[in-house]
Amino acid sequence: MKEMEERDVDAMFVSKDVKTFEFDQELPSLPVPSLQHTLDRYLDSVRPHVTDEEYRQTEFLAQQFASGVGKELQNQLLSRAANRKNWLERWWLDYAYLDFRLPLCPPLNFVGPGPYCTHYLSARPGSQIENAGLLVHLSLNFWHIIRQERLKPDLDSKGRHMTMDQFRRLFSTCRIPAPQRDHLNAYFKTESEGPTPFHIVVQCRGRIFVIKAVDDKEEPLTPLELQDQFQKIRDQCDNQPEGLGIGALTGENRTTWAQVRSHLMAIHPDNFRHLEMVQSSIMCVILDDTSPQDETEMCQLALAGDSSNRWFDKSLTYVVFKNGLAASNCDHTPMDAMCLVVCTYYVDLQVIKCKGKWQGTKEIRKMEAPKELVFTVDNVVHRAISNAKLTYNQIANNLQVKINHFTKYGKTFLRKLKLHPDTHVQMMLQYAYYKRHGKPAPTYQTGTTRRFYNARTETVRSCTPEAIEFAKAMMDPKLTVSPEAVTPTNYKDIWKYIFSVFVKL
């Protein structure tokens, strides 16, 4: 912890001479694999799940495809790639995300507890407002770094530049429901591109408020200033009945939400303006009334908590609980989790550096009071909110979350054996699933494609015949291995040894 406290956090994240998005336009186009390569990978992924006879039939069908319609489809794909720097980008966004018709949360959104909850910002009664002020301030600092294009561009393990495009959509981005296919509204702009939203939205007990999050110089408000604003909201909500809870509509089926949203905007022009304020906000901050006792409960509540106090369509939401613990809830559509991981790592290092306490000025400048967004609704909207809660709760109440920390060994031990931690996890998944169900698990490992223009991820099929043979060997009591048998080149023995240690633990 001391070593991390002494790090120059800004030096790790902030560039002095290179702009964040400077190299994006120079990145190579996403390549199109050959048809044979694609079919070979497909057959590899099928092999562990079928019998020998089924595999031979699949091989035959693949050969027919390769010599028939596959050629024409491959030519069409090459033609598309010739006119686009990323032939997959639009398809990936539309078919993987925007066409999704079920409620976004829990199925699609990703959540996670902040690592700061394990040290300086652990659970403490009465710390909700204090912790919210510090976390939001530090996150706004990260927003400011991107706004000024000072975030260091990422490099891969070989020193090649990676696309930073997704960081444009970490803040001030919202998914907008539509009857058949949703769309994204991205409001964020860098300083060189022009004006950008400067407000955040705060939700508390079913009510929604707007706060200007920066001063006249575009510098984020201090933690104490944010705390002052949050406290005003908290006091108002604690002394009044619960609000409408209109955010629950974002937990409804997407087509239904789109229809209700259109009706809501038709009722009164202020409703459109209120929606726009929520959608364009830098982030949502939830002042939650629950107090989770551990990480399991924290994740459960962040992913499947009270939908009337959420806006699941937003790219970034912080849920700050009554006891000061905090977690995130993010729509997966505009970005992958690594964007938030980078932001969270920055925030966590800053929390460690200041030991969880604001070290700057104590002055609280005079600011405009938080403005509540009061929607004009009718019976149709009231019924829709009630129905949306039922729809959401049917899924949320069926969710089980369990977080365990395994501390017997970690990546240091695995690296000594020249093994990647992700590989280790994939093998554990196969072994555990095979042991329980007696068949292979259809697992995958995310692989980044960010060294190509505007690319995101691809799927690595980690269920292989070798993985299944390993799982079977692990279950064979006749097979044993001792540490003396392990050599750097004997990977089968290494795996047997690692898992023999794991099982005993």
Residues noted as catalytic: 332
Contact 240, 204 (CB under 8 A): no
Of 170, 130, 132, 173, nearest to 327 (Cα)?
132
Q: Can you tell me the distance from the alpha carbon of 424 to that of 420, in angstroms, rounded to the nearest whole number? A: 6
Cα radius of gyration (the chain): 25
Which two structure tokens, joined as six digits, stand for 129?
């407002």
Q: E strands along 57-152, which residues?
A: 110-113
Q: Can you tell me the distance from the alpha carbon of 458 to that of 446, in angstroms, rounded to the nearest whole number? A: 6
**Bridge partner list, 97:** none
- Residue 14 has what DSSP assignment? B
How far lies 386's CA from each of 198, 245, 261, 393, in Å? 32, 10, 15, 11
Contact 505, 404 (CB under 8 A): no
**CB count in 10 Å sphere of residue 281:** 29
Say how many residues make up the chain. Answer: 505
Q: Can you tell me the distance from the alpha carbon of 341 to that of 233, in angstroms, rounded to the nearest whole number? A: 29
Q: Can you tell me the distance from the alpha carbon of 203 to that of 372, in angstroms, rounded to the nearest whole number? A: 10
Residue 355 contacts by C-beta under 8 Å, 6 or more apart in sequence? Answer: 5, 120
Q: Please, where are the H alpha helices in 397-475?
A: 411-416, 421-437, 465-474
Which two structure tokens, joined as six digits, stand for 96?
């993987």
- Helices 128-147 and 337-353 meet at what angle, rounded to 10? 120
Of 402, 405, 404, nearest to 297 (Cα)?
402
Which two structure tokens, joined as six digits, stand for 297?
């409960």
Q: How far out from the chain centre does Cα 153 lie?
A: 19
Q: Can you tell me the distance from the alpha carbon of 168 to that of 186, in angstroms, rounded to the nearest whole number? A: 8
